[in-house]
Amino acid sequence: MYETTYHRPATIDDAVALFGKGSDSKYLAGGQTLLPVMKQRLAAPGDVIDLARIPALVGISVTADAVTIKAATTHYDVATSTEVGKAIAALAHLAGMIGDPAVRYRGTIGGSIANNDPAADYPAAVVALGATVKTNKRSVTADDFFQGLFTTALDDGEIITEVSFPIPAKAGYAKMRHPASRFALTGVFVARTKSGDVRVAATGASQNGVMRVPAIEAALKANWSPAAIDAVTISADGLMDDLHGSSPYRANLIKVMAQRAVTEAG
């Protein structure tokens, strides 16, 4: 058994300092990704720095224009937040579909997007809503944050502090769940901004992680209805092809989930 030193800092600055002093340090948010990887011996950090108990990283605030969720806020807290439900119902709905109750009680929004798992739910909402990811150093737009499979714009030791979601005119999310993990076999988040622009993002489909779907965006901008997506063709090129579903199957799921998301959005 390898040795790991566990740290529980009280502030963001303390966490950053511990990261710099540690040996192959890793931040721990909810632990839904890091702990299984450590159990499988795919990671052996000398120092694990727990961010979940830092007060500055927990909480939700809502204004007339945006929903801001601190990074260590759990999926359960987002799913059950009355304020989030009123401002962006699709976001609360998405959080309530993540994993099972045990995962939702421990998993965090910051941990989800920092790992950028290709089948994670939150990246689809971040991209479709045009959110801004704020860290202890800077702000990064959604389109610049996700950079490929398990890859983000985060620098080594950088900490996500909060995510700010502009409140849309309409939004919806639908996914085909993997029956065991409940990750998204394919999930699609659709959003229409108050200015009339449309953004659509799919998760669980692309080999590179979360992806925009320009063809569906164009169709919905012209006609916001499930029927508008009927004539759209989604290429299977670059989509995942595995024992859970072929790339053509996932291409079809993108259309079907997008139609269901539009129906949910109204």
Confidence class for position 248, pLDDT limits 50, 70, 90: very high
pLDDT at 54: 97
Q: Does domain 5-49 have CATH number 3.30.460.80?
A: no
Question: Mean pLDDT of all residues in the chain?
Answer: 95
C-alpha–C-alpha distance, residues 42 and 198, integer Å: 40
Confidence class for position 70, pLDDT limits 50, 70, 90: very high
pLDDT at 87: 98
**Percent of all residues in the chain with a pLDDT value above 90, rounded to a whole number:** 84
Q: For residue 89, which of 142, 164, 168, 162 has the smallest C-alpha distance? A: 168
DSSP string, 82-112: HHHHHH-HHHHHHHHTSS-HHHHHH-BHHHH
Bigger pLDDT: 14 vs 243:
14
Tokens of residue 18, six digits: 């511990």
Confidence class for position 1, pLDDT limits 50, 70, 90: low
pLDDT at 20: 94
Confidence class for position 32, pLDDT limits 50, 70, 90: confident
Task: Kindly report the length of the chain.
Answer: 266
Pick the CATH number of 170-265 from 3.90.920.20, 3.30.390.50, 3.20.20.70, 1.10.10.60: 3.30.390.50
pLDDT score of 36 more than 90: no
Tokens of residue 96, six digits: 């309530």
Confidence class for position 34, pLDDT limits 50, 70, 90: confident
- Say if residues 47 and 22 touch (Cβ distance below 8 Å): yes
Residue-wise pLDDT tens digits, 96-154: 999 999 999 999 999 999 988 889 999 999 999 999 999 999 999 999 999 998 899 99
Across residues 34-49, what is the average pLDDT? 85
Domain ranges of the chain: 5-49, 58-166, 170-265
Give the burial class of 40: count Cβ atoms within 10 A of its Cβ; 0-12 exposed, 13-18 middle, 19 or more buried: exposed
What distances in angstroms separate CA 195 from CA 219, 230, 258, one per listed residue? 16, 25, 21
Name the packing angle between helices 247-265 and 89-96 (round to 10°): 130
Pick the CATH number of 58-166 from 3.30.70.1400, 3.30.465.10, 3.40.50.2020, 1.10.3720.10: 3.30.465.10
Residue-wise pLDDT tens digits, 152-211: 999 999 999 999 999 999 999 999 998 888 889 999 999 999 999 999 999 999 999 999
